[in-house]
Structure 1
Amino acid sequence: MVSDAPTRYRSADEDSARWEDFPFRPGDIVISTRSKSGTTWMQMICALLVLRTPELPAPLTELSPWLDWLVEPQERVYARLAAQRHRRFIKTHTPLDGVPIDPRVHYVVVARHPLDAAVSLHHQSANLNRARLAELTGQPATPEPESPRPSVEQALVRWIDANPDPRAELDSLPGFMWHLRDAWARRHQPNVHLVHYDDLRADLTGQMRHLAERLDLEPPGPDLVEAATFDRMRDRADRLAPDAAGVLKERSAFFRSGRSGQGDELLDAAARAHYRSRVAALAPPDLLAWLHRAEA
């Protein structure tokens, strides 16, 4: 999957082509994740490691813009990043094959168990103000469905079964594995850093220290690690939730649980076996062993 020519990813509210003309600086950090896989968490970790204070000087969305989100005009995002004098850390949900790879730049990819991310996606979907999102992106408003919303268990089974083109639906199971498979193929490159969501949960101090070393930054003190904990971030949802444009119904609901293993718990034995069969066809065994460590 690793290619010199970037793949273009485009949806109603994202377009990876916005990366094409972006002027990188040496030391820039690109945070590339699938949705609900630890994006905001990693943005906060990078903010703390770069700025060296638990009291951020601005909301996280201003410090770490989502470059390819169509809600904000490209020229405004570029201008804000150009004005930053600290080391920059930029958000994207685009896989690395859709972002220019610059040897002077660091790329951090966070991986989460796909079933846990799918559960979070289901709850996040109910928290989105879709009328506001359509207004900001110039899309026609989609009426709310009249039929009852499926349960999280039903939604999870449907998500496992769905088989769209991953380039068209990156938050599908094929899309998740596409993103991670590409990053896995690049993992030995010195400026590509894979981080597992469960490792952040199990040893936040150790993971922040390791990442600081890889990014050539000073190790964090206890105050910085404390500021990156899930509970502390949830307490500060007004400044940390990715909602500068007002597309979330409730900011505190963005930090819903963050727990690992919840997706697997919702499935019966047959559904778990079906999931394992699906992912075995989408990714190599060594990636799956690394990704699914919580099942061991």
Structure 2
Amino acid sequence: MQMICALLIFQTPELPAPLSRLSPWLDHLTMPRGEVYALLARQRHRRFIKTHTPLDGLPIDRRVTYVVTARHPLDLAVSLYHHTTNIDIARMRELTGNALPTEASAARRTLRDWLLAWIGHDTDPRTNPDSLPGVMRHLSDAWARRGAGNVVLIRYDDLCRDLEGRMRGLAERLGLAVPEPVWPGLVRAATFTRMRAGADRYVPGDGIIKNDTSFFRRGSPGAGEEILTGEEIARYHTRVAALAPPDLVAWLHAPGGPSARP
């Protein structure tokens, strides 16, 4: 999504700078706050800022469009598991003074055991936003705000299924007019394959990621359900149903179904 926003703003596959410089990750804490603010102050293009903070932790400004990308929670969890094994913990501690959160560091177990624990773990979503309760709290809040003119929800599955259509819908919501001949190049540049091939330009350059290419491990949905049995998947759905409103749950799990208004 960060790359899509960059492509729509600059309207060329050849970005003028590394993605992390064009779009700082505001709450990553690996760069001093003053440096991030100075970087943003120097920018003359339309700003697009990456954050993992849920909407209720952000100042809501009518001049800002908030784009929330929702991924199937099981796929998100599998991605988190592999992501933590690709992090240089010593480097993270050096830059931030903190190690990995407990939920993430548990990835020393097998993927299946960790995923089952992740599904069942009962934790405060406000202090552990990467937990299943944290993910569903974030998405539930965004879902409740989706009628606002400046809140956009997009499913990762829909980006995989219809990348061009979702990019065009987002451009319209952002008020960005893209010349028709430019579209094919922008869509190709946003694909998982292209981003993986150019990983060194798209992964944050703070030395925390051990292997840039491995950052783009798998682009297709379904990884979580491939690991679990039918009974375990049913247990997951029961858990999610207790954490979020039914219309959000139906939208989140719909197999290639209609997405929320882009």
SS in 2 for 1:221: helix
| Amino acid across the alignment from 1:238 | D
- Give yes or no for the alignment of 1:259 onto 2:224: no
CA separation of 1:140/1:191 partners in 2, compared to 1, >3 Å: closer, same or farther?
closer
Q: Is the 8 A contact 2:157 2:256 kept in 1?
A: no
Q: Is the 8 A contact 2:65 2:151 kept in 1?
A: yes
Report what 2:238 is aligned to. Answer: 277
SS in 2 for 1:217: coil
Q: Deviations over 1:92-119 (max 9, x none)?
A: 0000000000001100000000000000
| Amino acid across the alignment from 2:78 | V
CA separation of 1:48/1:126 partners in 2, compared to 1, >3 Å: closer, same or farther?
same
- Residue 261 of structure 1 deviates from its aligned partner by 1.0
SS in 1 for 2:20: helix
Gap regions ≥5 residues in structure 1: 1-41
Q: Is the 8 A contact 1:68 1:92 kept in 2?
A: yes
TM-score using structure 2 length = 0.92
- Residue 140 of structure 1 deviates from its aligned partner by 6.9
In structure 2, distance between residues paired with 1:124 and 1:141: 11
Q: Deviations over 1:109-161 (max 9, x none)?
A: 0000000000011100100000000000124799xxxx993221111101001
- Give yes or no for the alignment of 1:103 onto 2:62: yes
In structure 2, distance between residues paired with 1:136 and 1:54: 31
In structure 2, distance between residues paired with 1:177 and 1:228: 27
Gap regions ≥5 residues in structure 2: 258-262
- Give yes or no for the alignment of 1:166 onto 2:128: no
Q: Is the 8 A contact 2:107 2:114 kept in 1?
A: no
Report what 2:250 is aligned to. Answer: 289
Q: Is the 8 A contact 1:135 1:141 kept in 2?
A: no
Q: Is the 8 A contact 1:54 1:227 kept in 2?
A: yes
CA separation of 1:167/1:90 partners in 2, compared to 1, >3 Å: closer, same or farther?
same
Q: 1:133 aligns with which of 88, 92, 102?
A: 92
Q: Is the 8 A contact 2:158 2:256 kept in 1?
A: no
In structure 1, distance between residues paired with 2:221 and 2:52: 21
CA RMSD between the two structures:
1.7
- Give yes or no for the alignment of 1:234 onto 2:196: yes
Q: How many residue pairs align between the two structures?
A: 250
SS in 1 for 2:67: strand
In structure 1, distance between residues paired with 2:97 and 2:168: 42
Residue identity over aligned pairs, in percent, reads 60
Q: Deviations over 1:64-87 (max 9, x none)?
A: 001122111111101101100000
Q: Is the 8 A contact 1:131 1:141 kept in 2?
A: no
TM-score using structure 1 length = 0.82
Q: Is the 8 A contact 2:85 2:107 kept in 1?
A: no
In structure 2, distance between residues paired with 1:286 and 1:141: 33
Higher helix share: 2
Q: Deviations over 1:6-51 (max 9, x none)?
A: xxxxxxxxxxxxxxxxxxxxxxxxxxxxxxxxxxxx1100000001
In structure 2, distance between residues paired with 1:52 and 1:97: 31
In structure 2, distance between residues paired with 1:148 and 1:271: 19
Q: Is the 8 A contact 1:164 1:172 kept in 2?
A: yes
Q: Is the 8 A contact 1:130 1:141 kept in 2?
A: yes
